[in-house]
Structure 1
Amino acid sequence: MARVAVDSPPRHRSSLYPTTRLSYINQTHSSSHRDSTIPKRSSRRGRMVRRPSGKRSRAQADRSPRPGRKSRESKSPAPAAEYIDPCVGWLRRSGSAIWVDPEPRGKAIFIHDGSADTFDTGIAVRFRVTRPRTDIQASAASIVECLGPADSDATRLKMVVAGLGLPDEFPADTLTEADAFGDVEPEAELADSEITLKRRDLRAQIHVTIDGEDARDFDDAVSAQPEGEGYRIWVSIADVASYVQAGTTLDREARLRGTSVYLPGKVLPMLPEKLSNGLCSLQPGVPRRTITCEMVIDRHGARSDIRVYPSLIRSAARLTYVQVQRLIDGDEGAVPGQPASVGRHAIDASRVLRRRRFGLGSLDLEIAEAAVVIDASGGPLDVVARAPIEAHHVIEDLMIAANESVAEHLLERDLAGVYRVHPPPAQEKWTRLQNWGKRFGLSLRMTDCSNPGNMADFVEHLKLTPQAEAGQMLLLRSLAQAYYSPQVAMHFGLASQAYAHFTSPIRRYPDLLVHRALWNHWRGKASLRGLDDLAKHCSETERRALQAERDVTQFAACLVARRHQGEEMSARITGVHAAGLFVRPDDLFAEGLIPITSLGERTGEYFEVWDEAQMLVGRSSGVRYSLGEALKVRLVRVDIGMRRIDFELVRAAAPDGGTSRAARATSRDAGKRNRSDRRSGEPSGRRARKSVRRRSRKP
């Protein structure tokens, strides 16, 4: 299980929320089950796609051209300018004619420029339209990239990624601007006369970076040493704002992307590689521009003597999470020399900070996360549960402390900035969670719904029950969505009164804005403007990236699940809905659905949804299926185009597998059952039942 601090900053975190269930809930299950490789394009770029029926539907919303560029819209009165941006499809040939059949299906687009001459027929390609279709001439395209053969899962995955509509390649002017920067010259950096606060030379202070083994963009380095009964900590972050100036082509492209997107086997970076993996990456042994948040923490984890300033560091070592974990486990040889001492102090300091944060009410969720294992060809090999180790939390704790400190720094100086806001859960979500918890003797105080400590106490007691995993997922779905705002407000999940994202400017635009606010202050410039629109845009690009990550992960899960079709497996109920039971197999970390229509096929049973109790209850038999219950299921169908995995119930698990006695209860003695329900907090009577009833089979 992965311990998750809600809205924590480290890169090892994938999306916290489970894959979207809209495809199960909003779509009628089709008997034909299309095996389409590519979904409808994302709602980001404007084009009309002509369907085979001749009707046209808008596949993507309008996209404004980048500043300084001509509009891509055709000036002719054609119905639409199709496939202007790089798209995907299948390469075809007949005689001397070469064309692409786009995905999703559309009119053939011919290739005339020779870009397809070296590629085989039938392969998947990424292409760009060079001439839009008009009333008097056909469209034409140029091949950008070969994605692979049609029978490969790796190719299918690449097509989905390419078909997301997210920015991939950088414009030539952006790359040219990035390439113009030279190496850091320490003497020149320290002698800069344009700022009122000089860069501090911290090259003698031992800093280390702690990242995954495959990481290349090291945007944070830490140093720690004992001081009194506590520690002095330095969190030094890549000074991206000194390279990406407002109004430049680099800034426009970074703003457009909003965030780096981490997909299975591929990263879509916010900044060009020259910066993200080069000048802004805190590589060991080379001087780098940074902004440092320095603080002292006492033995109780309280922060004091907070200072934020531009600096120059030289990382002493690039440590991995595995190395730091070995250090935590007592392996003295895991990290050699002075970096080992810094690492041990950082570990101790993070534990002190963590205890204080959880004591204040920060949510400590232990929720497994999906990780797609990619094979040598780039295809999905498996989908497994990600289980972070304590080493991940060392960086997490230090980064959260720095983010809070910088937010307070902005407030104390009345500087315009962008804050991270996480509202408390809505009253109805809180009530639903409270009623569900009553079934297991869990109490959630309703006296102050804005107090995260009440929720934190509930979580700690929940972890001691067999329903811990399912209950924490229910809790996570009950939380409000975090967003960016120029107005400071509470971060409920972290129990913080002021929180800003400061520690990842290489991969998040809001962090870059915070850095820019600091630089404007140090250079005596005016405060940032237009932050309302920028904060809204950053929230939107974050949601777009999260949805892309979920969609590609679920697509990969479908490819893996297809190899197990027909197999029986153990699973647990992860969600209860009018559509049926959402389940996740123990050995395949992918969520699927047992449709409600399949649950009582042999008996013609009606099922009622008890929403607050998170149960499906048989109307005549009283059979119950509840959140967290263990089942034996069979994987019966995979619809790759719809991202659906369908199961059927084989049987409820044996009592030692977690099935409650209520699963075999009947409704013959309604009075007895209702009294039992009231004692356990379950709804009873018609008024308490959700007014959604499904007959599992037509009479």
Structure 2
Amino acid sequence: MAKTRTPKSQRFQAPKAQGLPDRETLLRHIRETGETDRGELARTFGLKGADRRALRQMLQEMQDEGTLAKRGRKGVAQPGALPPVGVVDVVERDPDGELLVRLTKGAEDTPLVRLAPERGEAVTGAPGLGDRLLVRFVELENGETEARLIKRLGQSAHRVLGVVRKARRETRIEPVDRKSKESLIVFDDGQLKDGDLVLAQVGTAERRHGPKRGKVLEVVGREDQPRAASLIAIHTHGIPTGFSDEAEAEAEAAKAPELAGREDLRDVPLITIDPADARDHDDAVYAHPDDDPKNPGGHVVWVAIADVAAYVRPNSALDREAREKGNSVYFPDRVEPMLPERLSNGLCSLREGENRACMAVRMVFDKTGRKRSHRFVRGLMRSAAKLSYEQAQAAIDGQPDDKTGPLLEPILKPLWAAYHTMLKGRLARSPLAIESLERKIVIDEKGEVASITPRASLEAHRLIEEMMIQANVSAAESLEAKRTPLVYRVHDAPSPEKLDSLAEFLGSIGVSWSKGEAVRTDRFNRLLELTREGPHAEIVNEVVLRTQMQAHYNTDNIGHFGLNLDRYAHFTSPIRRYADLIVHRALITALGLNLPGAPDGLSDWDISHMKATAEEITAAERRAMAAERDATDRYIAAFLSDRVGATFEGRITGVTRFGLFVRLAETGADGLVPVSSLGGEFFVHDERMHALVGERTGERWPLGMSVEVRLREATPITGGLLFEMLSDAAPPDPTTPRPRLGVRRKVGRPPPAGRSGRGKRR
């Protein structure tokens, strides 16, 4: 059971006599305070001089042996202990769709804790994966601990992004983050307009209980402006924007690459295959049959990647700002790049027909798809063609255009032949085959949402993906062989708790899952294949996805479960991911690929801070995910705002004690059906059956159920969607005992006077 702080009246009292405490006394004090630090302990026990040094040594020994856990730079706590209030990251979602958080500091030893939902919140107004929150930990009567949200920590506590609301006597700023309860009163000289989207500085309260005063720093747009969604996401999640003058100057001073120190690859007909609207091109590919008689039926595959390390040198302004950003952030209407445009869309973009610096890997595969060998070179290349996925696929499918026609025989067909050989190795490896239906938000010239369409899944996508995966594996293998420090991309196997929850859900739909079998990717793939044609295919896919852990960056290798690989590193996107830049530098150092002049491999600082870098870029990635998700939610809410009152088909994708999450089939939008609107009886959240169950009738709202809903509310400024349920609940399950009040979590409201049940709503 997670530990919380002991009530003040029962807390340990430090002895009045000064002196170094014994280990038992020290442990008891730390256990009962929940979390403390060296300075606080020294003051509590009245320690000075040599005793302080002895305390520091004792704490270090207890941390080394696992008796205590580190919290931040100087803090300590009992392993697994939770403070009364703490900063957490939203790291996972359970099969029912509820969010799980973990302390930001001391994440390795602290437990996952369920985030308590707020009743009546629309799903997209609530926190999501990647968010950082300030929470209060509360122990419940059943012994569980839950985290209750105090505030989101995306933006500075002293700055607020909000909307101007003008009244006759005052002007207020209403925060766009619906978790922020306080509005600000600001001075209005007549320049502000109702609906302006502004960045405001928080002042102090005018009266003890009055609203705070604020000062408008900048008008960043209008709440009804189409592009407001991404602006809000950038500010609320603290996404670093722009570049310093120093970084811009370094980018502008960059020069076109020369051949000195590089292998000439300009005669290798490498091509780029990217989305049709891509502005930067950081990878190129080429393949041909292997002419080695010892490798009949084998293929040679080249993957060339933009040589960003040649331009972004260690500890330069470009490097410091790229590390802070961690990655580029992509919104439907804009990109916040990791590098200035001079590099990201210029010298580091593998443009057709232009000389470009690259890091390339030549990989050899046998006829079974097994990689036999690889070697890395630092090269100078010239892209033979820039193609879109759709262009390349159409050519292979027999519909070449003027550009792809001449490329079909010499380049495209050999590429596809190599991929089909590599595919044999992929199928033998059996990585997770989860199908994720992505939606593309199409923005028109006015910046408004024109449509929301499913993203096409083409063989061309899978070809590039597999070639990038093999290049990433090659990078990790080379660095391990040279014993060079590196940042791995790791993905742990699902936890026993998640697997138990998966087994319970599958049991509720009549699918068996043995808890005793080893956890392997091919087991999940067999499950997905078994249910693929059935009525539960979509929700099984979703629940299997939720069962997985989140991938992250780490200097310690635990392998990549989802890809079923022993070692994996990110090498293929240094324009948009700092992790890849670090891997490039490591390869330069390990393989002796430094260019003449200033060294551009790993610096001593890079090596000594690699663990911290892995943690920071993981946090930046999750910050970007949260911002991208929030912007998408706001765009979807804006798109649906003129359809309030319309009915939609959907599916229940989340069951919680405060309501049902429903995903619309048409747009993939997620919204909330509050439990209070489901009818006039108590509903119990049956976690084992993954359903809301009526205590009186036994009627059920199970995970995965197809439903019809009416859109009641769409709020573009927050991204919230609220639905009204039109479908009837599923009948009681005769094989399941009806839950009794108090046995499971009680939700819903008692029936109003004179009403008996919810009836049918159409």
Tell me, yes or no, whether TM beats 0.5. yes
Using the TM superposition, give the Cα deviation of residue 332 of structure 1 relative to its aligned residue in structure 2, in angstroms: 3.8
**Which amino acid is the alignment partner of residue 256 of structure 2?**
D
Q: Which residue of 178, 183, 190 maps to 2:251?
A: 178
Contact 1:403 1:499 in 2 (8 A): yes
- Match of residue 358 from structure 1: 427
- Match of residue 420 from structure 1: 489
Using the TM superposition, give the Cα deviation of residue 122 of structure 1 relative to its aligned residue in structure 2, in angstroms: 5.0
- Compared CA separation, residues 638 and 287, structure 1 to 2 (3 A): same
**Which amino acid is the alignment partner of residue 416 of structure 1?**
P
Deviation per residue, 1:639-694 (Å, 9 max, x gap):
45554322122124xxxxxxxxxx65447xxxxx23xx5xxxxxx57699971122
CA distance in 2, matches of 1:525, 1:575: 45
- Match of residue 573 from structure 1: 652
Contact 1:91 1:125 in 2 (8 A): no
2:690 aligned with 1:614, yes or no? yes
Contact 1:445 1:454 in 2 (8 A): no
Contact 1:293 1:306 in 2 (8 A): yes
2:445 aligned with 1:376, yes or no? yes
Contact 1:123 1:146 in 2 (8 A): no
CA distance in 2, matches of 1:220, 1:696: 56
2:711 aligned with 1:694, yes or no? no
CA distance in 2, matches of 1:688, 1:318: 64
- Compared CA separation, residues 505 and 17, structure 1 to 2 (3 A): farther
CA distance in 1, matches of 2:439, 2:749: 32
Contact 1:178 1:275 in 2 (8 A): yes
2:240 aligned with 1:167, yes or no? yes
CA distance in 1, matches of 2:151, 2:746: 35
- Match of residue 105 from structure 2: none
Deviation per residue, 1:426-464 (Å, 9 max, x gap):
112112212322445544444454422222222222323
The SS at the match of 1:364 is coil
CA distance in 1, matches of 2:701, 2:400: 50
The SS at the match of 1:366 is coil
- Match of residue 49 from structure 1: none
- Match of residue 147 from structure 1: 221
The SS at the match of 1:561 is helix
- Match of residue 589 from structure 2: 520
CA distance in 2, matches of 1:484, 1:686: 43
Aligned residue runs from structure 1 range 243-254, under 5 A: 243-254=311-322
- Compared CA separation, residues 689 and 126, structure 1 to 2 (3 A): closer
- Match of residue 614 from structure 2: 535
CA distance in 1, matches of 2:316, 2:672: 48
Q: Which residue of 618, 624, 640 maps to 1:561?
A: 640
- Match of residue 301 from structure 1: 369
Q: Which residue of 283, 301, 304 maps to 2:351?
A: 283
Unaligned runs of 5+ in 1: 1-14, 45-56, 64-79, 193-198, 653-662, 668-672, 678-683
Using the TM superposition, give the Cα deviation of residue 398 of structure 1 relative to its aligned residue in structure 2, in angstroms: 0.7
Q: Which residue of 220, 229, 234 maps to 2:283?
A: 220
The SS at the match of 2:289 is strand
CA distance in 1, matches of 2:750, 2:460: 52
- Match of residue 48 from structure 1: none
2:117 aligned with 1:26, yes or no? yes
CA distance in 2, matches of 1:142, 1:432: 48
- Compared CA separation, residues 287 and 453, structure 1 to 2 (3 A): same
Q: Which residue of 283, 289, 307 maps to 1:239?
A: 307
CA distance in 1, matches of 2:162, 2:152: 14
Using the TM superposition, give the Cα deviation of residue 606 of structure 1 relative to its aligned residue in structure 2, in angstroms: 3.0
Contact 2:120 2:658 in 1 (8 A): no
The SS at the match of 1:458 is helix
- Match of residue 108 from structure 1: 186
- Compared CA separation, residues 120 and 312, structure 1 to 2 (3 A): same
CA distance in 1, matches of 2:748, 2:214: 51
CA distance in 1, matches of 2:732, 2:248: 69
Contact 1:157 1:379 in 2 (8 A): no
The SS at the match of 2:613 is helix
Aligned residue runs from structure 1 range 40-79, under 5 A: 60=153
- Compared CA separation, residues 91 and 249, structure 1 to 2 (3 A): farther
Deviation per residue, 1:557-610 (Å, 9 max, x gap):
2222322111122211112222222111222320112222222x2xx3333333
CA distance in 1, matches of 2:602, 2:238: 37
Contact 1:207 1:222 in 2 (8 A): yes
How many residues align structurally? 602
Deviation per residue, 1:612-643 (Å, 9 max, x gap):
33222333323222222211211122345554
Contact 2:506 2:512 in 1 (8 A): yes
What percentage of residue pairs aligned between the two structures are identical? 33
**Which amino acid is the alignment partner of residue 587 of structure 1?**
E
Q: Which residue of 496, 499, 510 maps to 2:565?
A: 496
**Which amino acid is the alignment partner of residue 167 of structure 1?**
P
The SS at the match of 1:256 is helix
The SS at the match of 2:568 is coil
Contact 2:659 2:673 in 1 (8 A): yes
**Which amino acid is the alignment partner of residue 662 of structure 2?**
V
The SS at the match of 2:639 is helix
- Match of residue 459 from structure 2: 390
- Match of residue 499 from structure 2: 430
Deviation per residue, 1:215-272 (Å, 9 max, x gap):
1110000011112302100000001011111110000000000000001201110000
Contact 1:167 1:257 in 2 (8 A): yes
Using the TM superposition, give the Cα deviation of residue 492 of structure 1 relative to its aligned residue in structure 2, in angstroms: 0.6
**Which amino acid is the alignment partner of residue 364 of structure 1?**
A
- Match of residue 73 from structure 2: none
Contact 1:240 1:505 in 2 (8 A): yes
CA distance in 2, matches of 1:665, 1:43: 40
- Compared CA separation, residues 644 and 301, structure 1 to 2 (3 A): same
2:476 aligned with 1:407, yes or no? yes
TM-score when normalising by structure 2: 0.71
Using the TM superposition, give the Cα deviation of residue 159 of structure 1 relative to its aligned residue in structure 2, in angstroms: 4.1
CA distance in 2, matches of 1:359, 1:17: 30
Q: Which residue of 669, 672, 678 maps to 1:590?
A: 669
Contact 1:611 1:689 in 2 (8 A): no
CA distance in 2, matches of 1:406, 1:385: 33
- Compared CA separation, residues 620 and 377, structure 1 to 2 (3 A): same
CA distance in 2, matches of 1:612, 1:345: 52
**Which amino acid is the alignment partner of residue 493 of structure 1?**
G
Q: RMSD of aligned C-alpha atoms?
A: 4.0
TM-score when normalising by structure 1: 0.77
CA distance in 2, matches of 1:688, 1:142: 53
- Match of residue 727 from structure 2: 651
Deviation per residue, 1:368-395 (Å, 9 max, x gap):
1232222222123444433332221111
CA distance in 2, matches of 1:258, 1:337: 40
CA distance in 2, matches of 1:506, 1:520: 20
- Compared CA separation, residues 646 and 122, structure 1 to 2 (3 A): closer
Structure 1 range deviating more: 367-376 or 484-493: 367-376
CA distance in 2, matches of 1:543, 1:666: 40
- Match of residue 632 from structure 1: 708
CA distance in 2, matches of 1:371, 1:388: 12
**Which amino acid is the alignment partner of residue 270 of structure 2?**
H
CA distance in 2, matches of 1:432, 1:102: 40
CA distance in 2, matches of 1:419, 1:222: 23
CA distance in 2, matches of 1:142, 1:695: 44
2:526 aligned with 1:457, yes or no? yes
CA distance in 2, matches of 1:384, 1:471: 23
Q: Which residue of 211, 216, 219 maps to 2:274?
A: 211
- Compared CA separation, residues 121 and 588, structure 1 to 2 (3 A): same
Q: Which residue of 187, 196, 203 maps to 1:124?
A: 196
CA distance in 1, matches of 2:215, 2:725: 51
